[in-house]
Every structure is written in structure tokens, then in C-alpha cells.
A and B are shown apart, each in its own frame.
Chain A
């Protein structure tokens, strides 16, 4: 019940395309859903986050869509760029800890 399932494991997208990464959770006590971006040799960095009382949040080219009834949320990267190539982690939080998804390696080719 503490798991967060993430798919796909890897994603290859052409420059300018849309990248979509999906996550699903079971525990309805989770109250905060962030996405982290990790470049090789670096630590994860917060990209965008959402609370379950909101169905969508957009920041620049990055959008989180949240479906509370389905217990699913997704990250959409519009106009994907080679610089977006990284590993993306969804996560879910109860008050004291983050449970991370298994990660998606995104490669954007020119």
C-alpha cells in the first residue's frame, strides 16, 4: 500500500514531442505528489508538485495531471528538448516521508 508504481521504465521522444510519464498509488493518505528530475551524477531535484485537491498544475512546459478517483497522476513535458533528457521520479508523501516511483529514463533526440 506504500508503493508508487511508475511507467514506462524508459522513454524515447523526438525533439518537440510530448513526453508522458504515469504513476499510480494505493494509499489514499498520501497528500502531496512531487516529481523529481535527476541528471547523471547529480541528486534528484524537485521539478513540480501537486496536492490531491487540484486536478492539474502547469509550470512552463511541465504539467501534472491528477486523477484522485483513479489514484493516478502523470507528468507531461510539452515541446520536449534534448536538455530534458534525465531520469524522472514521481513520489507520494504522507506527512513524514516520500515514497518514490521506480523512475523513468527519458531520452530526447534532436
Chain B
């Protein structure tokens, strides 16, 4: 059973379209994250949610909107896609209060904007 699962694994779309990426974790964690990994492999946090509440919102264009329907799910919706949005997007989860910020990552969604 995959701990953190993302769908789809690949997403190819045209500029200007709107797309969503879904993430689910079955670890019982209360915190979930979205990261963006660019072509140079640089990994940068975008958002984090704790128990459905937005905790971290880095300087991300407001075309990106995360939504957490419950603590096991964190989806990412992207409006008006641009070429620069092409990247691999990772979802991760962790459990707050353990003293160790151990984050478990999904396998990633490779987004290609043409």
C-alpha cells in the first residue's frame, strides 16, 4: 500500500489550461505539503496544511490553489498554466509533535506545459 500517492503521474497540457493534481496519504499524518522540483532538481516548498488549515504559503502565484478536503488529502489546482509551471510536483506528509520533521514524499507528478 503506497503511503503517499499522487495522481496523475504525468500531465501534459497546453498553456492557458487549468489542471489539478491529487494527493492522498494513508499514514494518519496531520500535515501535508506541496513541493515544486524544477529542471535543476531544486526542491522548494509551496504550501503546507495542518489538519486542513493552511500553515505555509510561500511566494507562489495565486494561480496555484491548494485544497484540503480532509487531513488525508491535499489537492493542487493550477489555473491558466504557463510554460514556467513545467516541473515535477511532489506531495509530502508528516506528523506534527514528534519532535522530528520527517516528511514522506509521493512519487511526483511531472507537469509539462506546451
Q: Report A's interface with B, CB cutoff 8 A.
A: 32, 34, 36, 38, 41-46, 49, 87, 89, 93, 95-98, 100, 102-103, 105
Contact = CB atoms under 8 A, between A and B. Distances in A.
Nearest to A100: B43
A24 B55 CA distance: 26
Given A32-B101, A43-B90, A95-B101, A102 B42 contact: yes
20 contacts: A34-B102, A36-B105, A38-B41, A41-B108, A42-B108, A43-B4, A43-B105, A43-B108, A44-B105, A45-B104, A49-B102, A93-B101, A96-B48, A96-B56, A98-B45, A98-B101, A100-B44, A103-B42, A103-B43, A105-B41
Given A32-B100, A43-B107, A43-B108, A87 B56 contact: no
B101 A43 contact: no
Contacts of A45: 104-105
Interface of B: 4, 33, 40-45, 48, 55-56, 90, 92, 100-108
Determine chain A's interface SS by DSSP, over half rule. strand
A44 B90 contact: yes
A46 B90 contact: no
Contacts of B45: 97-98
A92 to B, nearest CB: 10
A43 B108 CA distance: 6
A36 B92 CA distance: 13
